[in-house]
Amino acid sequence: MALGPYEVAAGHWDRAGARFIDDGVNFCCFSHTASTVELLLFEHDHSQTPFQVIPLDPWQHRTFFFWHLLVKDLPEGVFYGWRMDGCHDTVHTGCRHDPGKLLLDPWAATVSDRLWDRARACQPGDNVASAMRAQILRDHYDWEGDEHPHTPLVDAIIYELHVGGFTRHPSAQAEHPGTFRALIDKIPYLQELGITHVELLPVMAFDVQDAPPKTLELGLENYWGYSTHSFFAPHPGYAVEPNRARDEFRDMVKALHRAGIGVILDVVFNHTSEGGATGPIINFKGMDNEVFYHLDFDDRSQYRDYTGCGNTVNCNHPLVTRYLIDSLYYWAHDMHVDGFRFDLASAMARGEDGQPQQHAPILWSIELSPELARAHIIAEAWDAAGLYQVGDFPGYRWAEWNGHYRDVIRSFVRGDPGIDEVATRIAGSSDLYETRGRRPGNSINFVTCHDGFTLHDLVSYNQKHNEANGEDNRDGHNDNRSWNCGVEGPTDDPAILALRQRQAMNFIAILMLSQGVPMLLAGDEILRTQGGNNNSYCQNNELSWFNWGQVEPQRAMLEFTRGLIALRRRHPNLRRRHFLTGTAEHTHDLPDISWHSARLNRAAWGEADARLLAFTLAARNPDEAHLHVIMNMSDKSVLCELPPLPGLHWFRAVDTADARPVLPPPEQPQINVARLMVVARSVMVFEARAQL
Q: Which residues does the annotation mark as catalytic?
A: 343, 380
Closest C-alpha among 532, 534, 501, 448 to residue 659: 501
Closest C-alpha among 660, 680, 684 to residue 671: 684
- The answer to whether the beta carbons of residues 440 and 577 sit under 8 Å apart is yes
d(CA 221, CA 211): 6
Characterize the bridge pairing of strands 79-86 and 111-112. Answer: unpaired
d(CA 101, CA 83): 6
Phi, psi of 78 (to 5 degrees): -70, 145
d(CA 614, CA 416): 16
- The answer to whether the beta carbons of residues 569 and 594 sit under 8 Å apart is no
d(CA 41, CA 46): 12
Closest C-alpha among 150, 164, 172, 250 to residue 200: 164
Residue 645 CB contacts under 8 Å (≥ 6 apart), including other chains: 626, 688
d(CA 41, CA 50): 5
- The answer to whether the beta carbons of residues 666 and 647 sit under 8 Å apart is no
d(CA 283, CA 294): 16
Q: Which amino acid is at 571?
A: H
| E-assigned strand segments in 44-182 | 52-56, 62-63, 66-72, 79-86, 111-112, 133-135, 158-161
Which residues are registered as beta bridge partners of 631?
Answer: 613, 683
- The answer to whether the beta carbons of residues 42 and 78 sit under 8 Å apart is yes
- The answer to whether the beta carbons of residues 103 and 82 sit under 8 Å apart is yes
Helix, strand or coil for residue 579?
Answer: coil
- The answer to whether the beta carbons of residues 277 and 302 sit under 8 Å apart is yes
Cα 627 to Cα 423, 637, 650, distances in angstroms: 16, 21, 9
- The answer to whether the beta carbons of residues 535 and 473 sit under 8 Å apart is no
Characterize the bridge pairing of strands 66-72 and 158-161. Answer: unpaired
Q: Which amino acid is at 629?
A: V
Contacts 24+ apart (CB under 8 A), 608-616: 608/417, 608/418, 609/417, 610/417, 610/418, 610/419, 611/412, 611/415, 611/416, 611/417, 611/419, 612/419, 612/638, 612/640, 612/678, 613/419, 613/422, 613/423, 613/426, 614/640, 615/423, 615/426, 616/590, 616/643
Residue 524: alpha-carbon gap to chain centroid: 16
